Structure 1
């Protein structure tokens, strides 16, 4: 699941005493909560983080890096355009101020089994695709059939436990699951964008092309300019515009995404007024690049917005399918040679914290010694686990930030020697094979070279040969999909309610499946079992224990060199927007903003000619 975040700890009664939403086949619901009860009742009018009277109108420009060559985001081929989710509706819609709750969208009502072994959705009578065709149960069946048979490997993992999808009549669709007690499955199927069977039956779903797909969502594609830009227009007669889950959202008339090959050019274009909103991910740019008149006079607004989202893991990810990275001691040794503290002081303006967990900034992170329950979960695997898991809290190596890492180098040398590597004639060489340790950093953003270069210097002091290859985004995606790399910058996003997606990240079934998200190549029976335990967690309390146990095992196997994170959004935008008084707890909620006509008039669209020094 993607970035939907938790606001506070929810403790539930033991599973034996409490199971949320115990229902019979005749019960009907407006929403499903993974744990507990929905925040909003069946008669709610809108989410609390929107302005239900937000005006519609205005044209907004955003940006993306790289390029795109496909309008089909569901397959492994090609590089899909940004924001395609705007054209699709799903059975359910998730709220941004609850841990994991979904409300009816295409689904007018929901019925669910006591043990969550099945779920039924009644299709809203007004649900329509953009061509006016009614959405029916057959479209839902078609969607899941084609995603699992012809979609990216992710869908095979995510929907693995769907045993059958069938239309019960002309308005009801039923999902039968292969197991009971998987609390997340009904919500997972509710998230899927529903595809029109009558459209795709006449087109090749597996083909990467710029064929404009038919959707049912709040926007439709109106213009595609090669691989340079894509424009979405708000659907005036959108069938779901007045539903409670949509009221106050999707307010812009058009949204255009312009593509830039270079990050520096993209930033300068924003300052010149070429696009309207920017989420800044570069600490140096945030600290030094906005000292311009447009910021000083208020034409550009800059805000740091705190969030409670799990930050997930960004890291140098090893391809452990390669013999050189198969030993955890080698991977740990390389972590000792990565001087984060120097980088943070000299390049990042002290903006970041080192990431110490795959679930950082959440209660799911293993940041204390194992609890009694965690020890019970891990004990059956003791002989297969690093002993430190039971006695220590994982911490990355720490330097003093001076650049002098002699102590770290000595530790790295010892670990490498234990793994069978020694420096011979100035090169780190394997004692048995005679192989010299050499590898390549594969990047798509040239800005990241400045991060890798200091790391390379430390590696070279150990006799390790390294190189950097910067490729375009399409080649980068394809090489990562095919596992054709040594080391990449891996991104492993997490939600407040981890579940079935963990299979695709870590499970051995996906270690050799091209296109999967197990880019590291993890094939560890203990990880496999812990992933299944996370998926089958019966309540929130048990989910926390099981996720922390998984976190410990991933961390102590040293599959990655963790990077850094921040717990706020850095946003810059031209002062044309209105925003709700109450922001969502999980995310920025840009789809709840609107163009303020008075602000836009004051700014005047000639801003690009007046803002430079």
Structure 2
């Protein structure tokens, strides 16, 4: 699901599901499509049984064998107990995170299990979890998940294949538009018996689809019978996961308690994780207030997304006494694209020259030195911090992809290295401003009486919509730079719930958007950039891109037959997006900045692609050593 605006970091802790890509398929040109889970005929006409696997990986064999006992980085003997209180911003009014309406409670995903469990230590691998194993027919046109017979809902009833079928159909029909895009190549799903859920695919080209389906949370059909799935609400739902909702105050806090008899507690995908007895999320309207709550000891741990606060905000008595720890934990996550996003549905942003001009006057170098303490790296790709990012001139493989569209793409895509505008950091940026004015004149805008207007005398005016006052200190210097061009820009900051409603309805001019990416992009690209999704409210195509060339490139990415083809096609897509100037790129960090009250133990290392707080635990001796009233430590 969409993770909006960890805006001052350029880094999401999770970028939605791990967008892995499934096993390479064979026999894509087969004339007949056998039912999922059945044998496809071999070359000699004899049936070939489906492959059975404990894990799915696009990039070769999974790192862990079928008999692995726990994730390599966790402490399997970690003690259970204690509590962790975290911060959430805004408010909530729903325990259903899968529909367009309502603001879902933080942490609600912890009450559900998924069919497979992504490994945050591998780029594109999932391991059996709710499913005991998976079966893949030889023609690649389906997948069957065989459920663990021990799987149980919190009311003791078994998790069945009928639950899987009901969940899939319900989410595709009534869930957020994301699901329809993500699962678009599934033709049908059937429950072959109580434990076997079989999916049939419309073709064998979508190599990641088996893993995409493995990421699906399974919901209880029997609990939802007689309830309206499309309505948000605060009725406590039934789950099967390691936590259940213990209590909540609407809009203020939600508390989850570990399920002592959780059916999956000894699975290798769970051992050494979910160690806290209680996980609580306290809501705050403002990030500044949330930081003060952490200092006062009301919050146990926070991930800091504001560079200024990280540099200056943690010098308080408890930290100086060593009661609060801080660390920058390195990661290898692709950092995607964060930037000022323009809504192409607005006429003023429909000219590429205008969009390029707006990017020219954004002075990252000055901001990084004066606002961010030099802690960020400028983002230059939609697939930053990964091998998928386009660099230099197009390679031979990229040119093979792009040549089909020559004459319909800007010639710079083929001949010029894309570079984000740079300045000397003086906050004058005069050369870039001159270039910007030239582009604006070409697009039909002129300066009259210090205002930029079109041939009808209408001013160039727009609003930057934000969901946190934290980002105003970045937007305001940018607005000042725009004013020098005669552009009337203004900031409007609204609460997160109102912000989400407006974004779902595409009711904005410019905003800060984050497009998270994985090392294996695929179906989610349709939702980001697809023409059909530009018209579907609630989709992730918030930019409003509707370009048949981009549609074609997205389909090429999804159908990439091997890793090198995926790299070439993704880089080609990246180049086209960059030269479209749809966003004004911001920055990213390659570390998690974490501060915590010193009562936790944690594994010796962190997985490569996530901040795995679920593998932390409370050390009782440390917990007892902290003041009962932590505020007195300050």
For the superposition of Structure 1 and Structure 2, which TM-score range results when normalised by the shorter chain?
A: over 0.9
Q: Output the CA distance in 2 between the equivalents of 1:279 and 1:13.
A: 38
Q: Output the CA distance in 1 between the equivalents of 2:403 and 2:24.
A: 24
Determine the structure 1 residue equivalent to 2:190: 166
Determine the structure 2 residue equivalent to 1:251: 275
Determine the structure 1 residue equivalent to 2:434: 410
1:134-173 deviation per Cα after TM superposition (whole angstroms, max 9, x unaligned): 0111000000110011111111111111110001122211
- TM-superposed deviation, 1:491: 1.1
State which drifts further: 404-413 or 387-396: 387-396
Determine the structure 2 residue equivalent to 1:510: 533
Determine the structure 2 residue equivalent to 1:436: 459
Q: Output the CA distance in 2 between the equivalents of 1:304 and 1:434.
A: 51
Determine the structure 2 residue equivalent to 1:595: 618
- TM-superposed deviation, 1:604: 3.5
Q: Output the CA distance in 1 between the equivalents of 2:188 and 2:150.
A: 26
- TM-superposed deviation, 1:283: 0.4
- TM-superposed deviation, 1:467: 1.2
Task: From the superposition, tell whether residues 293 and 600 of structure 1 become closer, same or farther in structure 2 (CA, over 3 Å).
Answer: same
Counterpart mapping for 1:345-356 below 5 A: 345-356=369-380
In structure 2, the residue corresponding to 1:534 is in which secondary structure?
helix
Q: Output the CA distance in 2 between the equivalents of 1:235 and 1:5.
A: 24
- TM-superposed deviation, 1:394: 1.3
1:523-575 deviation per Cα after TM superposition (whole angstroms, max 9, x unaligned): 01111011111111122221111111111000000000011111111110111
Task: From the superposition, tell whether residues 39 and 126 of structure 1 become closer, same or farther in structure 2 (CA, over 3 Å).
Answer: same
Q: Output the CA distance in 2 between the equivalents of 1:604 and 1:195.
A: 42
Determine the structure 2 residue equivalent to 1:448: 471
Counterpart mapping for 1:524-535 below 5 A: 524-535=547-558
In structure 2, the residue corresponding to 1:255 is in which secondary structure?
strand
Q: 2:402 aligns with which of 378, 382, 392?
A: 378
Counterpart mapping for 1:202-221 below 5 A: 202-221=226-245
- Say whether the 8 Å CA contact 1:58–1:252 is kept in structure 2: yes
- The answer on 1:313 being equivalent to 2:337 is yes
- TM-superposed deviation, 1:13: 11
Determine the structure 1 residue equivalent to 2:419: 395
Determine the structure 1 residue equivalent to 2:346: 322
In structure 1, the residue corresponding to 2:146 is in which secondary structure?
strand
Q: 2:492 aligns with which of 442, 448, 469?
A: 469
- The answer on 1:111 being equivalent to 2:108 is no
- Say whether the 8 Å CA contact 1:313–1:492 is kept in structure 2: yes
Q: Output the CA distance in 2 between the equivalents of 1:171 and 1:66.
A: 40
Q: Output the CA distance in 1 between the equivalents of 2:16 and 2:106.
A: 19
Determine the structure 2 residue equivalent to 1:422: 446
Counterpart mapping for 1:516-555 below 5 A: 516-555=539-578
Q: 1:69 aligns with which of 81, 93, 98?
A: 93
- Say whether the 8 Å CA contact 2:365–2:424 is kept in structure 1: yes
Q: Output the CA distance in 2 between the equivalents of 1:354 and 1:237.
A: 47
- The answer on 1:122 being equivalent to 2:149 is no
State which drifts further: 386-395 or 509-518: 386-395
Q: 1:179 aligns with which of 203, 209, 215?
A: 203
In structure 1, the residue corresponding to 2:294 is in which secondary structure?
helix
Q: Gaps spanning 5+ residues in structure 2: where?
A: 2-13, 28-38, 41-47
Q: Output the CA distance in 1 between the equivalents of 2:495 and 2:109.
A: 24
- TM-superposed deviation, 1:14: 13
Determine the structure 1 residue equivalent to 2:5: none
Determine the structure 2 residue equivalent to 1:363: 387
- TM-superposed deviation, 1:15: 9.5
Determine the structure 1 residue equivalent to 2:33: none
Task: From the superposition, tell whether residues 590 and 469 of structure 1 become closer, same or farther in structure 2 (CA, over 3 Å).
Answer: same
Determine the structure 1 residue equivalent to 2:62: 38
In structure 2, the residue corresponding to 1:345 is in which secondary structure?
helix
1:31-77 deviation per Cα after TM superposition (whole angstroms, max 9, x unaligned): 11123111111111111011111110001100111111111000010
Q: 2:289 aligns with which of 251, 259, 265?
A: 265
In structure 1, the residue corresponding to 2:133 is in which secondary structure?
strand
In structure 1, the residue corresponding to 2:52 is in which secondary structure?
coil
- Say whether the 8 Å CA contact 1:14–1:539 is kept in structure 2: no
State which drifts further: 382-391 or 473-482: 382-391
- Say whether the 8 Å CA contact 1:3–1:309 is kept in structure 2: no
Task: From the superposition, tell whether residues 75 and 268 of structure 1 become closer, same or farther in structure 2 (CA, over 3 Å).
Answer: same
In structure 2, the residue corresponding to 1:455 is in which secondary structure?
helix
RMSD between aligned residues = 1.8
1:482-503 deviation per Cα after TM superposition (whole angstroms, max 9, x unaligned): 0111001111111111111111
Determine the structure 2 residue equivalent to 1:232: 256
- TM-superposed deviation, 1:512: 1.1
Q: 2:107 aligns with which of 76, 79, 83?
A: 83
Task: From the superposition, tell whether residues 61 and 606 of structure 1 become closer, same or farther in structure 2 (CA, over 3 Å).
Answer: same
Q: 2:483 aligns with which of 448, 460, 464?
A: 460
- Say whether the 8 Å CA contact 1:5–1:98 is kept in structure 2: no
- TM-superposed deviation, 1:278: 0.5
1:422-456 deviation per Cα after TM superposition (whole angstroms, max 9, x unaligned): 1122211112x432110001111011111111111
Determine the structure 2 residue equivalent to 1:19: none
* TM-score under structure 2 length normalisation: 0.93
